[in-house]
Copies of this chain bind each other. A is one copy, B any other.
Amino acid sequence: MTKPKNVLFIMFDQLRWDYLSCAGHPHLHTPNIDALAAEGVRFSRTYVQSPICGSSRMSFYTGRYVHSHGATWNRVPLKVGERTMGDHLRDAGMDCWLVGKTHMKADDEGMERLGIPRDTVIGARVEQCGFDVWERDDGMRPEGPDGFYDPKGAETYNTYLRDKGYDSANPWHDYANSGRNKDDPEEMASGWFLKNSRKAAVVENDDSETPYMTSRAIEFMAQADDTPWCLHLSYIKPHWPYIAPAPYNDVYGPEHVIPVVRDPREQQEAHPVYKAFMEGRVGKAFSRNEVREAVIPAYMGLIKQCDDQMGRLFQWLKDNGRWDDTLIVVTSDHGDYLGDHWMGEKDLFHEPSVKVPLIIRDPSKAADGTRGTVCDELVEAIDLAPTFLDYAGGEAKPHILEGRSLKPWLHGETPDWRDFAISEYDYSQKAEASMLAATPSQARLFMVADANWKFMHAEGLRCQLFDLQNDPDELVDLWDSPDHCDIIKLMYDRLANWAIRQSQRTTKSDAEILAKGSGSGGLGVVLGVYDETEIALPVTQFYRGKPRPGPSQ
């Protein structure tokens, strides 16, 4: 075939780039994802635009930097009017559906101000980040004294669980993400508490979140008609709570935990923001061996389950004629430190946090030459939306979509490409901002990474610099190295050039700009003309002779 008809855009949440056997993990065996890589391209340097779920996803979906779309952290609403891949793909004749998580927070104020009702197709799409919703499930059903994190979240899944007999006010937590205590088998052992990570979640594997979502995706694809579709299949796992159902809780043990990447020098000379994160509760917890030895095997088990579900999903595609007419993409919204660099979770720009897996299989003949290869070019999460639009046959929209189509790489071409990648992090809502007395406008970080260097700018503070060639583990911060002043200056220059880019003229394309010019000459605007002899007649015919009697148009 010349090009795939559909796009299956699979996202895991918090999946580290190197926790796949095809990316070199020595113990975690992911044969199904590996097989996809063997038939596609693995992009080994893919950076997310922010190492935090919500902002990263809004960049994936809009194809725009966080600095452009403004959803700077989780639950900062994506402003009404920002277009997403759904809008662009539908314009190109491709439907765009969601099964799973987006972390989208709708701009309620904007929708009300513009009079966009939610119970219309337009309103529902604005509210749901441009997707048509097969099932929205952010996989976030935490509950605390102030209520639910997401009051409407995951109710379909909870209803499913209850129908299956998991009786609870919140079976998402009480069964799918909790084990039971040994002493009293009716007492919950919550997956929120890291010591419980190795326990088996008291849910049947088939009823746990990853297989459930896979089933929902298959259900969508099975009923789809001939209209080309993009399906965003967006899993919550291996994201916390770190707890897996049997048998996955027990596939890996502490003996499979790869050595931690950290160095005491990191603590001694740490950048102030990095230091604040290291010294926070999460950093401290993940620096403890008992935490790592409990969490990492569970995390690996969750990934193993994900991989098995990929096997199931890919088999369905093969059995139903979709394997060869569907572009398949596997990625993640950010990584997980897992104790590396004295850190847990994500937030900063070390590779375990900001780099993600990206594997794309294009079934078309044009991609045969690249199957099984690894592409080391700098890829950004914002490249996916323009890639999908390219496959959908839509016109490129560089005045809106700031990423670039990856299709040339998949087809063995070598396009002009970026020299550096950008990521951003706004920590103004984190405790670390208070620790540093940073105002919201100060509590912002920017990464500039190129083939050899990774640089971080922190508003109001010193920078950070790592030599990726000679220090691939990013342990030695060269911010004050006299030998690296030129590199640091280059990085600041790149950041400035990037920051000043035109990102908001989204109502007019470069092509329209070039085609029209000022457009005013032919419309009778006559500037700098002393008399009629200085300008061609057609423009001036309206301005000579006697008044034409009115009225005109």
A residues apposed to B, CB below 8 Å:
67-83, 87, 107, 109-110, 113-116, 120, 122-123, 126, 142-149, 151, 158-159, 162, 167-171, 173-175, 178, 186-188, 190, 192-195, 240, 280-286, 288, 290-291, 294, 344-345, 426, 428-431, 434, 439-441, 444, 446, 459, 492, 495-496, 499-508, 510, 513-514, 516-532, 538-553
Contacts and interface: CB of A to CB of B under 8 A. Distances in A.
A397 to B, nearest CB: 12
Given A79-B507, A192-B526, A528-B286, A546 B187 contact: yes
Given A170-B550, A175-B547, A543-B173, A345 B193 contact: no
A82 B70 CA distance: 13
Contacts of A502: 67, 70, 72, 426, 440-441, 444
A167 to B, nearest CB: 6
Given A81-B79, A114-B80, A542 B170 contact: yes
A504 B175 CA distance: 40
Contact of A428 (B158, B192, B513, B532): B513
B543 A188 contact: yes
A156 to B, nearest CB: 13
Nearest to A280: B528
11 contacts: A110-B507, A142-B525, A144-B524, A145-B539, A146-B522, A151-B553, A188-B543, A192-B529, A285-B528, A286-B528, A492-B496
B550 A194 contact: no
A551 to B, nearest CB: 6
A143 B500 contact: no
A170 B552 contact: yes
Contact of A499 (B186, B499, B517, B551): B499
B519 A169 contact: no
Given A145-B522, A169-B551, A193-B532, A527 B240 contact: yes
A254 B543 CA distance: 26
A75 B520 CA distance: 10
Interface centre among A113, A142, A294 (most CB of B within 10 A): A142
A168 B514 CA distance: 35
Nearest to A116: B114
Nearest to A240: B527
A434 B515 CA distance: 12
Given A68-B504, A510-B440, A526 B193 contact: yes
A149 B524 contact: yes
A107 B516 CA distance: 17
Contacts of A81: 79-82, 110, 114
Nearest to A542: B143
Nearest to A91: B113
A195 to B, nearest CB: 5
Nearest to A431: B517
A274 B168 CA distance: 73
Interface centre among A72, A429, A539 (most CB of B within 10 A): A429
A40 to B, nearest CB: 32
Contacts of A280: 528
A462 to B, nearest CB: 15
Contact of A549 (B73, B169, B195, B524): B169
A122 B115 CA distance: 7
Contact of A193 (B282, B290, B543): B543
A169 B495 contact: no
Contacts of A188: 543-547
Contacts of A74: 518, 520
A289 to B, nearest CB: 11
A500 B434 CA distance: 22
A441 B540 CA distance: 33
Contacts of A162: 550-551
B547 A142 contact: no
A147 B170 CA distance: 65
Contact of A500 (B282, B496, B518, B544): B496
A238 to B, nearest CB: 15
A229 to B, nearest CB: 20
B167 A547 contact: yes
Contacts of A426: 502, 505
Contact of A145 (B76, B538, B544): B538
Nearest to A186: B546
Contacts of A510: 428, 439-441
A116 B116 contact: yes
Interface centre among A144, A521, A543 (most CB of B within 10 A): A543
Nearest to A288: B530
Contacts of A80: 81, 114
